[in-house]
Amino acid sequence: MNEISRRILSLGIISALVSMAIPASAAPVIKCRFLGQRTTFKGKLYTCIKGKNKGKTILMWDSGKPIPATSPIASQSPTPISTPSPSSSPTISPEPVIVKKIDIPIAKSSDVPNNSTKSFTAKNRNGIDATYFLARNSEVLIAMDATCPHQGCTVAIATEGLLCPCHSALFDPKNGALLRGPASYSLNRLAVREADGLIYITD
Ligand code: FES
């Protein structure tokens, strides 16, 4: 064996001894800080465990477990979109309650002489006290609802006419026609009839 061969041989032995003394790092590079801590490193899952070093208890990474390859997502079946069943009953909106108009005896014929307008109170078809005007002019009888068409206040007889106390709308006492705003309409007229000395309105 010549000098070169001896040197090559000795270098090989030295490197083998070094590799045995210093094993390649197989643990995660991050520090193990608490029991149960987990991390992945080079395809393995490591868990922080208790170990011994020079008689002292230390935290260290275990030997790691290989991480299994994940299954393809394509194998998952799509979530079906639910559609309303044809048998489910449709939502039924409540029917509006319609109360039929009624004949209301409101005054005696003698209570409303010719060329006069009078105010009366009676229960309407909903059983609520309501105010009405009866006006007789040239022997013609007219009935009006005293509810202001502006915002629903009750109009009253005043010196200047039928006056709304809320915003001062004014109506003609003879027929309920609008004389002054802010209302935009005349008073609502009602059907009226006289029979056997009584006056009836329909509301
Ligand atoms: S409610 Fe009558 S004028 Fe406004």
First CA to last CA across the chain, in angstroms?
133
Structure tokens belonging to residue 191? 């059907």
Structural domain includes residue 127? yes
Structural domain includes residue 97? no
Residues with CB under 6 A from ligand 1: 148, 150-151, 153, 164, 166-167, 169, 182-183
Q: How many CB atoms lie within 10 A of CB 134?
A: 22
Q: Are residues 127 and 50 in the same domain?
A: no
Q: Are residues 109 and 189 in the same domain?
A: yes
- Spacing, Cα 203 to ligand 1 middle (Å): 21
Q: Are residues 111 and 56 in the same domain?
A: no
The pLDDT of residue 23: 42
Structural domain includes residue 27? yes
- Spacing, Cα 99 to ligand 1 middle (Å): 26
The pLDDT of residue 120: 96
**Domain total in the chain:** 2
User: Closest ligand 1 atom, CA of 181?
Assistant: 3
Residue of 153, 154, 185 to mutate, ligand 1, most atoms within 8 A of C-beta: 153
Per-residue confidence in pLDDT tens, the chain, 203 aa: 566 556 655 545 544 443 444 444 567 877 777 777 888 888 888 788 888 788 787 888 888 888 776 544 444 444 455 555 555 555 666 676 777 888 899 999 999 999 999 999 999 888 889 999 999 998 899 999 999 999 999 999 999 999 999 999 999 999 999 999 999 999 999 999 999 999 999 98
User: Closest ligand 1 atom, CA of 182?
Assistant: 3
CATH number at residue 137: 2.102.10.10
- Spacing, Cα 165 to ligand 1 middle (Å): 7
The pLDDT of residue 59: 81
Q: Are residues 52 and 131 in the same domain?
A: no
Neighbouring-strand partners of residue 61: 48
The pLDDT of residue 6: 64
Structural domain includes residue 73? no
- pTM greater than 0.75 (yes/no): no
Nearest residue (by CA) to ligand 1, atom 4, is 167
The pLDDT of residue 78: 47
CA–CA separation, 36 and 39 (whole Å): 10
Structural domain includes residue 172? yes
The pLDDT of residue 4: 54
Structural domain includes residue 126? yes
Q: Are residues 38 and 110 in the same domain?
A: no
Range of the domain at 111: 103-202
Structural domain includes residue 6? no
Residue of 144, 147, 150 to mutate, ligand 1, most atoms within 8 A of C-beta: 150
CA–CA separation, 176 and 185 (whole Å): 9
- Which candidate, 140, 139, 171, places its Cα nearest to that of 154? 171
- Spacing, Cα 169 to ligand 1 middle (Å): 6
